[in-house]
Chain A
Amino acid sequence: MSEAEIRQEYSILDRSKKNPQAFGELYEKYFDRIFNFIYRQTDDEELTADLCSQTFLIALKNVDRYQFRGVPFSAWLYKIASNEVNKHYRKQKHTKVFSIEEVRIRELIEQANEEYDEEIIHRLMNFLKELPTEMLQVLELRFFEDKDFKEIAFILEITESGAKMRTYRALDRLRKSFNLRIKYDGKE
């Protein structure tokens, strides 16, 4: 995200403090991304719509308190959305769902120079089932939302090195389980 874009978002946020209607611009810009992010963790369209509305409502309510912490405004929305999803699962006491898009999985497998077939998908699903939730959250933000470690750390309220460690550990497990040679941030 360029500096000009960040500055533009800031001016919208400033206007939103006085006029909540101005926040609509950011709502339109980020609605789809936040919706997809929540949908991946619920696999329920109606529930996602509710949690998504709740996310933007909380953001609008607290726009006065928003402070720039070196990450784009969208990271704040992701953080609220993540908290809302966690709150939902705590209340319902359900097993957490991760619903991943086949298209994206295919892209990632092809990037790793592996052949995409039903068997690899089946193995991958079993592998992901056994991963701890914290690792899945980091992987989702890194590979499905293209967030950098600084943003991931902010969203999940962990340190940047913690975010990196979780990602590398998950990838190490993946390499071992699938005997892959994935190049990632210089690591092989």
Chain B
Amino acid sequence: MGRNEIRLRRQKISAGRIAQHRNYGDIMARHERDVKLKRITRIFIYFILIAIITIVFFFVRRWEKNYVPKGKEVTAFVNDVKAPLKH
């Protein structure tokens, strides 16, 4: 067995026979379908991105509302402590 299979074609395929497979309408239809699918995918990706950004934004806002800065806590504590008595 050789590296490739070599076949000898006694007859050349006729132009008429090739023409039977020619169909630009089908190519156009497939192309339009692909373009539509691409557009839908793009819209879907944008939608997902916007949704993720919105969710992150709301989480950050909620976290900001509930957040008490550590520095303030310390200051309040320091202010609460009475000054030591002088002897």
Contacts and interface: CB of A to CB of B under 8 A. Distances in A.
A53 B27 contact: yes
Interface in A86-140: 95-103, 105, 121, 125-126, 128-133, 136
Given A35-B18, A36-B13, A129-B3, A100 B30 contact: no
Nearest to B8: A102
Given A20-B31, A101-B9, A32 B4 contact: no
B6 A32 contact: no
> How big is the A interface, by class?
35 or more
From DSSP, what is the main secondary structure of chain A's interface residues?
helix
A61 B31 contact: yes
B67 interface: no
What's the dominant secondary structure at chain B's contact region?
Answer: mixed
B12 interface: yes
Contacts of A39: 13
A129 to B, nearest CB: 3
A130 B8 contact: no
Contacts of B1: 95
Contact of B9 (A32, A56, A57, A102): A102
Interface of B: 1-10, 12-13, 15, 17-18, 21-24, 26-28, 30-32, 34
